[in-house]
Amino acid sequence: MVNFLAPVYLSKQLYPQLKASENARVVMVSSAAHMMGKIKKDDPESRKKFKHIKAYSNSKLNILLATKLLANDWANDNIIVNALHPGVVNTSLFDKFPGFLKRLTKLLTISPKKGAQTSIYLAAEPEGGLVSGKYFAKRKQKRASVRAEKAENIEWISELLNHYLSRIQNA
């Protein structure tokens, strides 16, 4: 849940500064793993049955839904909000893998520098600020999953965010 709530909460906290800026952009890091994500209305925190990859995929789907929601909510404020898949980046995440798998991941992953390219594109390059509420990979707009596009899911994420953000503010 934190994987999804943290960037959305930070973005909402920065809203006054974003609104006051001329060309504000919010870049959310999602993942192609969102394609495996599911809407868990009955268990958004995966408390009943937790599996790492499913929770990760669900959080990345939730980030895409929140991207759409914020892009819609902030459209009249000239705030651009987009999400991206950075690629499978060779980070310390793979350091605990056994020797053979660690060597294999080095062959199948990209460098952090290459993984950052789409984030930089969306945050700083003129073309990266032409659309809002979209999903990108390799510096190009891509189709998100059907679940990430459904209006009923965006409405659900809005309700979920309101619930959790009010709990955070009342804590």
Q: Strands 140-142 and 135-137: what pairing? A: antiparallel
Q: How far apart are CA 15 and CA 78, in angstroms?
A: 11
The residues that are catalytic are: 56
Are 91 and 56 a contacting pair, CB within 8 Å?
Answer: no
The residues with which 85 forms a beta bridge, in sequence order, are 137
Q: How far apart are CA 80 and CA 37, in angstroms?
A: 24
Query: Strand locations in 30-120, DSSP E?
Result: 79-85
Sequence-distant (6+) residues with CB within 8 A of 4 are: 59, 60, 62, 63, 66
